[in-house]
Structure 1
Amino acid sequence: MRQELDIDSLVRHRIRALRLARGWSLDTLAERTFLSPSNLSRIETGQRRIALDQLVPIARALDMTLDQLIESPNDQDVVIRPQRIDGRGTTIWTLAQERSPFGMSVAKMRITTAVSSIAQLGVHPGRDWFTVLSGTAELRLGERTILVQAGNAAEFSTMIPHAIGAHEGPVEILVILSHDGERAHLQHTNGGVGDRD
């Protein structure tokens, strides 16, 4: 019973916090949910029990899934113990318990292989993003080679043949990948970040 009350209180707090973060009044949220401002006020303050038929339009209006809105807090999920994957010229640490609700995954990579030694450039749907933590990355995009130094980031269409390698020494990068990028780059490692056969 106590856990149910805690989740109820958390959901009420989330609704109010998300509404305020968007700069919305109760009237604005009411217009988007087709609920009255007084009902929303009572929901946020705990004076009214939250019903499922109210949560669905509230979640939709706040651009969230119902699961995200009512997600139970679990302190055990806070600390991530990265899974280490070693390959020829690349070490990868996955930095998320599971893929995010938006289908993205996060990983830290240490690459020692130059982009010139990557056998084949990768192509997959979506976009990749990375930031260089230390060293200098060589980003091969089609015929171009772009140097990305520590502190800088790169974002690019992954429909362009591409690979990421090290320039004059090891490079460490933090990457955010779509599901297709994860399959292409994280499931196998063969030196650098290019196509994985």
Structure 2
Amino acid sequence: MIRPEPGHSPGLTTWILAHEDGLYGKTVAKLRITPDRPGGSAQLGVHPGRDWFTVLSGIARLELGERTILVHPGEVAEFSTMTPHAIGAHEGPVEILSILNHDGGRAHLHAADHAAD
């Protein structure tokens, strides 16, 4: 049984469900993003790797390059993280399940892990 402890930062709560160390490891995380997250999704970032997520509840706003994509419950997004990107909440909180490779986990979850310290 998994009983993850939540990591908190403003507008973001993260539960690490599985984590494999190493260069080729993957991290599985549940994230709850609220619309009041500082900077919203206006700050696009890039890093090596690929990201994958599915929406559990709410609507995610995926900023991908110059496109804005609304991802609804049950839908999946997968993309190269070398494309400028950000994930935010659209018109209310959103919960997503994300699978990140080594680089994606370091880029997206590092701040939430340390905010809980």
TM-score (norm 1): 0.52
Paired letter, 2:33: I
Quick one: percent identity of the two aligned structures?
Answer: 65
Could you say which structure has the larger radius of gyration? 1
Alpha-carbon separation, structure 1, partners of 2:65 and 2:36: 16
Alignment deviations for residues 87-119 of structure 1 (CA, whole Å, 9 cap, x no partner): 1101000001x3178511100000003787235
Q: Which residue of 2 aligns with 1:140?
A: 63
Higher RCO structure, 1 or 2 (CA under 8 Å, sep 6+): 2
The structure in which a higher percent of residues are strand is 2
**2:6 counterpart of 1:84:** yes
**2:91 counterpart of 1:168:** yes
The structure in which a higher percent of residues are helix is 1
Q: Which residue of 2 aligns with 1:44?
A: none
| Contact 1:124/1:180 (<8 A) preserved | yes
**2:75 counterpart of 1:152:** yes
Paired letter, 1:81: R
Alpha-carbon separation, structure 2, partners of 1:133 and 1:161: 24
Alpha-carbon separation, structure 2, partners of 1:154 and 1:107: 15
**2:25 counterpart of 1:107:** no
TM-score (norm 2): 0.86
How many residues get paired? 110
Taking a change above 3 Å as real, the CA distance of residues 90 and 119 of structure 1, as seen in their structure-2 partners, is: same
| Contact 1:132/1:150 (<8 A) preserved | yes
Alpha-carbon separation, structure 1, partners of 2:71 and 2:21: 26
Paired letter, 2:60: A
Structure 1 gaps, min length 5 = 1-78, 190-197
Shifted more, 118-127 versus 141-150: the winner is: 118-127
TM-superposed CA distance for 1:143, in Å, is 1.0
SS of the equivalent of 2:106 reads: helix
Structure 2 gaps, min length 5 = 113-117
1:62-77 alignment runs, 5 A limit: none
